Structure 1
Amino acid sequence: MIQLICLGWIIGIASMGQDIPLLHSLLIPSIYFFSLCLLAKLTIFKSISALWLKASLLGISFFLALLLGSYYAQQQLNQRLHLREQHSAQLELIVYIKHINEQREHVLQQKIQVLNRHVQPVQWQASVKIEQPATQQLALQLGHYYRLQGTTRPAHGYATSGVFDQEQWFIQQNIMSGFKVLAIQELTEQQINALGYASYVKRQHAWSNQVRLWIEQQRLALRDFIYQQPVQHKGLLLALLTGDKSLLDRQTEQLFQRFGMSHLLAISGPHVLIFAILFCAALHQLIRRYAIQIYLIWPKQYFFILPFCSCVLLYCAFVGFEIPALRTLLSCMVVSAFLLLKQKIQPLTILLLSAAILLIFDPFSVLSAAFWLSYVACFVLLRIYQTIQQQHSATPIKSKMQLFKAQLKLLIESQWKIFVALFPLMIIFFKQLAWISPLSNILALPWIGLVVVPLDIIAACCYFIFQPLAALIFQINDVCLSLLLLLLNGLDGIFSARLQPIAMNFWLLLSVCLGLMIVFLPRGVLPKAWSLLCFMPLALSDRHPYDFELSILDVGQGQAIFVRDHTQSLMVDMGGNYDESKFSVGKQIILPFLSVNGVSRLNKLILTHLDQDHRGGYESIKQDFPIEQIYSNEAVTVAQASQFNYCIQGQQWQWSDQVQITILSPQKQHLADAVHEKNEQSCVIYLQVKNAKPYQNFLLMGDAGWPTEYQILQDYPDLKVDVLVLGHHGSRHSSAYAFLKQLNPQLAVASAGVNNRYGHPSVQVSARLKELNIPLLSTIQHGTIRFSKQKNTMALELQRNTRQWLMR
C-alpha cells in the first residue's frame, strides 16, 4: 500500500499548474469513502479476508493520495503566484544577500531577499553589470544588507511550445521577479533595525542561518581559488565539483549538450556518494589499523550509517541542496531507517518514499527535469543491481578476468538501459535527443566518475587543509579533463555529434512510457511481449493529426507564422532579435518549435520584408535548416539548397483541395520601391481554408500600413476576412478605421513583444477595434495563438491557457 500511496502523491503533485476543479471537488467524498472502507475493515470484516475490500482500500488510497497531492500542489502554487510581480516598475528595495551569485558574460545574477515588498521576505533575482573579473570584490557581498534602486523585470518568457519556459523556471526556483540594479547603497544592521526589520536581523543571527552563510562564503572562496589557478579548464573543474557554471565557457557547455551529457555539469547523486564512500573508506582503514574492536561492538553496516549520512548531508549543504543531491540524501536516510529497523530493502519503495518526502518539503521540484531524470536513472540502476545480485548468487565470480568482463558488461548494459528508460523524459523536457550519448557515456562516465570527480573532491578537501596541495591536485585534474575533452572532440569529428529533434504527442509518449515500464518490470510480473503492443503506435500514428493548422508564434517584438496541412509546411517570417548573437530567435524559438511539431524541412518561407524583426531568425538558421523555396519583396541571400523568388500580387498556391494561398501585395511595378519602403511593400498573404467554421479566411498583413490597406480595398473590394493579423504589429499607422470596418473580421491578432518601446498594439488601434466590436488577441497576453482544423471545425487554442503560471 505504501508504494501506491507514494505514487498517487507524486502524480498528484505532478499535476501542478493544471486547474482541475472537478478533481479537487472529489477530495471530501474520497476522504469520507476511505474512512468507511477502513472502518469496515477494522470492524465488520476484521476476521474475514474480503478481496474486494482490500482492492477497494488500495484503489481509494491511491486516488486519495493523488487528490491530496494535487490539492497541496495547487495551494503551494497559488501562494507563489500571489507573491510574484506582474508589472515593470521603478522601485527602491531593502535586501539581504544570503546566496552565492552566478556570473554570466559581464552580468552578475544574484538572488536577493527582498524585505520591504511583502509582509514576509521574498526572493528576487537581481542583475548587476560588472566589468571586473569574478575574483575581485563583488558589488553585493554575502551577509550584507543593501538599499537597491532599479527596475523590476517580471518573468515573461516566450509562450511557444518547445521553448524554454522562463516563467516556470522562476516559479520552480522561488524567484518572484527579476530586478535590474541601477544604484547600490550598503546598509548597516543598525540602519536595518531602524527601518523596522529587527526580527529579520535576529533570525539571521541564529546558528542555522550562520552555518548556511558560512557554507556560501566557502563556496565563493573556493570558486575564487579555482579561478586563480593556472589551469585551462577551471570552469569545468568548478561545475563538476559544485554545479556552479560561473566560470564555464559556452563552447565546453555546448559540447556536453551535443553529447547528451549536460547532466554531468550539475551535481548528481554519484558526486555525493563518491565523497561519502571516499570518507568512509579512509575511516575503515583507520579502524582496521588502530581500533578493530569497534566492529565487535557495532557491526560494520550499522557503524557507518552515521558517518555516511553525515558526509552526504555535508556535501548536499556545500552544493546548495540541489535536487539530485537532496534525492540522494533522502534515499540514504530511508535506507538507513530500513537497516536500523531491520526491514527488507526494496529499491522501488525506497525511491518512491524518498521522492514523496522530497515533494512534501519542495513540491516545486516536480517541475524540474533533474527530479524525474535522476529518479528514473536510479530505478534502472537498482534494477540492474538486483539482476547482478541474482546472477552472482547463481554463478559466483572466481577470476579477475571474469570480474573485469562483468564490470564492463555492467557499464555497457547500464548505459543503454538508462538511455532507453530516459527517452520519454528527454522528449518531454528537451524535445530532442543525442543518439551518441550511450557511446559517449560509456567512454566518459568511468573517467569522470572514477578519476575526475574523486580528484576534484580530494582537491576541495585539501583546500581547507593545505592549499598548495589542493592547487597541485587541481592542476593534475586539469590534465585529466584535457584528455576527456580530446576524446569528446575526436568523437565529435567522427560522428558529428548533435541533438536530434523528436516530436511526439501526449498519447504517443504515454504509450511509449507504458511499454518501457513493462520492459523494466521484474520477470514474471507481465509478459515482455506486451510492450510491443505499446510501441506499435510509433509506426502507425499520424504525426499530423489536424487537416490544417496556423500558429502565430510568440517571438517577442516581431512576427513568425507557421502554416501546415497534411502534405506541406510554410512559414511567414521568422521573427528576429535586434542582436541574434546575444539571443537567437531562430535557434531558441523557431527551431525548437519546428522540432516539437515534427517539421524537418519547410516547403516555403515568405519573408514579408527584410526588417530584422521579421527575417533575423531566418538569417541565424538558414545554414542549419532546409527550406525549399524562399519569397520576399527584396532579394535575400539564401542557402545553396534553397531557391529565391519575389512575391508578387496575383501569385497563387493551391496546396490541396482545402487550402489556397494568394499574394495580394506588392504589385510587380512597385518591387523596386521595396528598398526604401520596406514596410509599405510588404508581402500581404491571403489564405483560404474551405469548409472550416468559424474561421475560414486569414489575412496576414506583414508591416503594411494605410496606403497598402487602401490599395487592397481597391483591388479586392469583395475580400472576406475572418482572422486579420494586424499590420505592423498593431501600429497606429496601420489598421485604418475604414479598412477594419469594410473587412469586419471576426478576430484580430497582434504579434508584439511585452513592454515593447513602440507601444504595440497601439491604443488607437485597440480603440478602433473596440468601437467596431472586433475582439483583439495579442501574443503578449495569450502567447502563441493556434488555429487547427479537424473535420469542419477550426479550433482556437491559446498557449498561455495551458498552465496557470502562464496566464495573464
Structure 2
Amino acid sequence: MNPRYAVLSAISALSGIWLYKYHSITGFVLSAFLVIVIVLQFKKKSAFIVSFLPIFFFYSSLTLNPHASKLSAQSIRFSGQIVSIPKMDGRLLSFQFKANDENVIVQHRMKSSNEKNELSKLEINMTCLLKGNLKKPEPQSHFYGMDYLEYLSSKRIKWILETGSISSKHCAIKSQKSIKESVQIWRSRAIHHLEEYFSQNTASLMNALLFGYREGIKPETLEAYQRLGLTHLLAVSGFNVGIVSFILYSLLVRAGIIKELAYMLIVLCLPLYIVLTGGESSIVRAGMMGILLLCFIIFRKKISPVVLLSIVCIGMLFWNPSYAFELGFQLSFLMTFVLITSLAFFQSKSYVQLLILTSCLCSLFSFPIILYHFYEFSIWSIPLNILYIPFVSILLFPVSCMVLILTLTVPENLPFIVSIVEFIFGSSALFLERAQLLRGSIVLGKPAEWIFILYFISIFYFVYKWEVNKRLKVKSVVPFLLIIIIHACLPYVNPNAAVSFINVGQGDSILIELPFRKAVYLIDTGGSISFEKKEWEKRDEEYNVTKQAVLPFLKARGLRRVDGMIFSHGDMDHAGGGLFLLNHFNINTVYLPNRVNSNELEKLIEEEAKIQNINLLYLRKGMGWGNKDSFFSVLHPDSNRTSSNNGSIVLWVKLYEKSFLFTGDIEKEAEDEILKNYNYIHADILKAAHHGSGTSSTASFLKKLSPSYAVISAGKNNMYGHPSNDVLERLKEEKIVIYRTDLHGDISFVVGKQRIKIITAQ
C-alpha cells in the first residue's frame, strides 16, 4: 500500500471521530478541505481514503453515545470482580469493579486504621459481594481541567458505586483464572513487592518504568515531569517493547530455537507484555506494531513503517474511538510518525547528534498538543530530554529490571543495594523538582482550534523546508514564531471584557479581564479548609482548590501576571489560596480591606506581599480607578472596625455599559449602609453576598439594585445549606435570572460594547 494512502486514511478516520465529537465550524471547514485535497491528489483512488471519514463518523455515533446501563439505580447489592489494582489514598479506597458485565468505579471511605489494614488485602481479580448506592458521575464543572465524566465514558463506565461497608471476608480469589488474569495478579503483587522494599516515591517510579503504574509518585515529582515535558519517560512504550523483544530473541536463539519460531514465540509473548504493563494506549500501539512487524517478517513480506503505523492507528480507533482524545494516544502516534518520516535527518549522525535531533523534533511536534492540555511549555524541555532520555534508558530502567529480579529471586541480598537505588532515584527526582522552579515556563494559554491547526501547518512547513534544503534556514522557522506571537497577542486585540466566576466550591474567586487586556484583577482565591487528620487518614496530596481550579484557569486564559489580587476579606473560603498564588504567580498589587482588626490570614498575606516586594493597598469607601470603558468604585467598608463579613470589600465595576456589584460576604447591616450612602445605585449583574446566605440579599437591596442577573458562588451540597431558599425566592420575585456555581460550574460574562454573552461550564 502507498504510504500516503495509509496516512491519509488514518487522518480521515481521526477527522470523522473528531467531527462527530466536536461539531465546530472549524472542524467542518478542515474536514472539507481535507476531502478536497485528497480528491484532487488521488482522483479515482480518493474514494477509498475519504470513505474512512463518514465510516468513523457514524461508527462514533454508535459507540461514543452512552448506551442503556445493565445496572439499575435502585440496586444496592452487587456481585462481581475487581478489575483494577485497588488504590488507597488516605481514607479513600477506589477500584474498578465489574458487575453484570459492566464496569463501575467503587469509592469507599474507610472509617479506621484497622479497616484500612484489612482492606489492604484486596487485590485485582478477586470476586466480591458489595453493598452500596449507584450515582452518576458529575459532569465537568470547569472550563479548563480534566473532564472526569468524559474520562469514564471513554472507559465505558457509567456509574460510581459508593459503598457503606466493604469486608475482605466477602471477597475471594478466583479458583480458576485465565492467562490474562494470572498476569494481572502477578503484576499487582510485583508492584506491591517493590513498595515493601523501597520508599513510596522510588518504588512508584520503578513501577512506572516497569509496569506503567504511576500511582504513588509524589505530586511534586509528577508535576516536575509534567511541567518539564518529561512525562513520556514514565510511560511504557516502544523502547520497552524493543528491549523485551531483543532479550527474548537473544535467549531463544541461544537456546537453539530457529529464527522463525523465535519470532512466533515473541508474537505470543507481546500481548502478555501489554497486559503486564497496564495496557495504556502507548504500549498497545508499540506492542501491536511489534506483533504485526514480526508477522510480516515470518511470512517474508515487506511493509512500510508508515503503513504499519497507520494500520495500527485505524485498528485501535475501530476498537475504541475514544482513544482519539487521549493524550497518550496522540503523542505516541505523532512522535512515532515524526521519527519514522525523519529518518533522512538521522543518517550519518553521531549518537549525541541523534539524541539532540530527536529531542528537538519530538519537542517541536508535541508543542501544540502540550500547549492544548497544559497551557504552557518549558524552555528546559529540550535540554532535559537530551539529558534524561539516556539517563532513564541506560540507568533507571535497567536498574529497575535488576531490582525486580533480585526481589523475586534473592530478596535477602537487597539490603546491600537499597540505599544505592534510593540515592539514584531520589537524586534524579530532587533534581527535576528543583529544575522546575527555574523560570523557564512560558504561559501562552489554551490555543483556539484555528491556532492549533496553524501551529502544525507551520511545523510541517519548517520540516519540509529543512528536508528540501538539506540544512536549517532561519526564515523557515519564521511562520512558527509568528504563530506563537499571534497566540500570545490575541487577548491584547480583543475588545471584549470578561468576568469569570470560577467554581471553587464553597468559596469565591472572580477573574476580571478588561478590554484589550489592559489589566486583570482577581477577586478572592477560594481556599480549602483543612482539618487535623491522623496519619492513616492523610492523602498523598490534600486537595487544594486554588491549585486545582484557579491556577489552571489563569494559565488557560494565557495570563502571565495579575495586575491586582483583591481579597474581599480574610476568611479561608475567600483568601485561603492567597499565599499559594503569591508564591506561584506574578502579582503586581495586593488589595486588602481597610480594617484595624485584620485576622491572622490577612496578616500572613500582608507579610508575604512585603517579603516579595508586592505593592499593598488598603481599600475603603470612596476609592476608585479606571476610565470610561472600565471603572472600579469601592462602596464599602466605610468603618475600619467592622466584623469580618461586614468588613468585606464591596466593588462596583462598570465595563462598557454593563455594571457588576461584587459583595464579598456582607450581610443586611452592610447592605443597608450601602443603600443609605448610595441612593441611586444600580447593577446589571450582582454577585449575591455570602454565597446566598439568608442574612444577605435582602428584598430592599435587590429592589434598589434591580439586577438582571445574580450569581451565587456555593459548593454543591454544602453543610451550610447555601443558597438559602428565602434568597432564591427573593431573586425570583424580582425576576432576576440566577446562575450558580454549584449547578452551572464556571460562569463567564463576556461584555462587549453592544451586548453581553453568558457562558457556563455545565
Category of TM-score, reference length = shorter chain: 0.7 to 0.9
1:376 pairs with 2:358 = no
Residues 773 and 250 of structure 1: is their aligned pair in 2 closer, same or farther, counting only changes over 3 Å?
Answer: closer
User: Which of 498, 501, 512 matches 2:443?
Assistant: 501
Decide whether aligned partners of structure 1 residues 473 and 382 sit closer, same or farther in structure 2, where only a CA change above 3 A counts. farther
Residues in 2 aligned to 1:335 and 1:103: alpha-carbon distance in whole angstroms: 40
- For structure 2, the residue ranges without an aligned partner over 5 or more in a row are 532-540
Contact 1:666 1:682 survives alignment (8 Å) = yes
| 1:786–1:493 CA distance, 2 compared to 1 (3 A) | closer
- Contact (CA 8 Å) 1:604, 1:630: kept in 2 or not? yes
Distance 1:477 1:425 in 2: 38
Q: Distance in 2 between matches of 1:137 and 1:449?
A: 36
Q: 1:780 is aligned with what amino acid?
A: D
1:243 maps to which of 212, 220, 223 = 212
Query: Is 1:479 aligned to 2:420, yes or no?
Result: yes
Alpha-carbon distance in 2 for matches of 1:181, 1:357: 38
SS of the equivalent of 1:721 reads coil
* Residues 1:156 and 2:138 are matched in the alignment: yes
CA contact (8 A) 2:359 2:382 kept: yes
Match of 1:538 in 2: 484
Look up the match of 2:357.
413
Equivalent AA in structure 1 for residue 445 of structure 2: A
**Residues 74 and 769 (structure 1 numbering): CA distance in 2 closer, same or farther, change over 3 Å?**
farther
Tell me the residue number matched to 1:583. Answer: 543
Aligned position for 2:306: 348
Of the three residues 126, 135, 144, the one matched with 2:107 is: 126
Paired AA for residue 138 in structure 1: S
Residue in 2 aligned with 1:41? none
1:630 is matched by which residue type in structure 2?
Answer: V
Q: Distance in 1 between matches of 2:544 and 2:263?
A: 50
How far residue 316 of structure 1 moved from its aligned partner, in angstroms, is: 0.5
Matched, 1:11 2:38: no
Does 2:231 match 1:262?
yes
Aligned to 1:614: 574
2:271 maps to what in 1?
A: 313
Report how many aligned residue pairs link the two structures: 720
Alignment of 1:190-339 (within 5 A): 210-229=178-197, 233-287=202-256, 294=258, 300=259, 302-339=260-297
Distance 2:26 2:518 in 1: 39
Q: What per-residue deviation string (whole Å, max 9, x for no partner) do you get for residues 234-260 of structure 1?
A: 232222211223443444434434543
After superposition, where does 1:365-764 map in structure 2 within 5 Å?
Answer: 365-388=323-346, 391=347, 406-457=350-401, 460=404, 467-469=408-410, 472=413, 476=417, 479=420, 482-483=423-424, 485-486=426-427, 489-490=430-431, 496-497=437-438, 499-506=441-448, 507-521=450-464, 523-524=467-468, 532-533=478-479, 535-540=481-486, 542-544=489-491, 545-547=493-495, 548-565=497-514, 566-579=517-530, 582-633=542-593, 634=595, 635=598, 636=602, 637-638=605-606, 639-640=609-610, 641-654=613-626, 656-667=627-638, 669=639, 671-674=640-643, 678-690=644-656, 692=657, 696-764=658-726
CA contact (8 A) 1:12 1:66 kept: yes
Change (3 A) 1:472 1:309: farther
TM-superposed deviation, 1:188: 7.0
Q: How big is the shift at 1:417?
A: 1.5
What does residue 766 of structure 1 align with?
728
Equivalent position SS for 1:218: helix
- What is the distance in 2 between the residues matched to 1:441 and 1:142? 35
Correspondences of 1:143-182 after superposition (within 5 Å): 143-150=125-132, 154-156=136-138, 159-182=141-164
Q: 1:747 to 1:231 in 2, by over 3 A?
A: closer
Q: Which segment drifts farther, 716-725 or 90-99?
A: 90-99
AA partner of residue 614 (structure 2): S
2:534 is matched with which residue? none
TM-score by length of 1: 0.80
Separation of aligned partners in 2, 1:62 and 1:703: 61
Task: Give the residue type in structure 1 aligned to 2:528.
Answer: N
Q: How does 1:47-62 map to 2 (within 5 A)?
A: 55=42, 57=44, 61=48
Q: What TM-score do you get using the length of structure 2 for normalisation?
A: 0.84
CA deviations 1:204-252 (Å, max 9, x no partner) are 99x8x63232222212221232223267822322222112234434444
- Shift of residue 456 of structure 1? 3.1
8 A contact 2:194–2:404 mirrored in 1: no
Going from structure 1 to structure 2, the CA distance change for 1:153 and 1:502 (only over 3 Å counts) comes to farther
Task: Name which one, 1 or 2, has greater alpha-carbon Rg.
Answer: 1
CA apart distance, 1:490: 5.0
Q: CA deviation at 1:574?
A: 1.0
Other structure's SS at 2:350 match:
helix
Distance 1:416 1:23, change over 3 A: closer
Question: 2:404, 2:432 → 1: CA distance?
Answer: 31
What amino acid is the match of 1:793?
R
Instruction: Check conservation: 1:662, 1:686, Cα contact below 8 A.
Output: yes
Distance 1:253 1:79 in 2: 33
Root-mean-square deviation (CA), in Å?
A: 3.8
Q: Equivalent residue of 1:557, what SS?
A: coil
Q: Percent identity?
A: 22
Offset, 1:602: 1.4
Deviation for aligned residue 1:558? 1.1
Q: Does the 8 Å CA contact 2:747/2:760 hold for their aligned counterparts?
A: yes
Unaligned 5+ runs, structure 1: 38-50, 193-200, 295-299, 393-404, 801-808
Deviation at 1:686, TM superposition (A): 1.0
Q: How many angstroms apart in 1 are the aligned matches of 2:300 and 2:24? A: 42
- Does the CA-based 8 Å contact 2:39-2:46 persist in structure 1? no
Q: Which residue of 1 aligns with 2:97?
A: 112
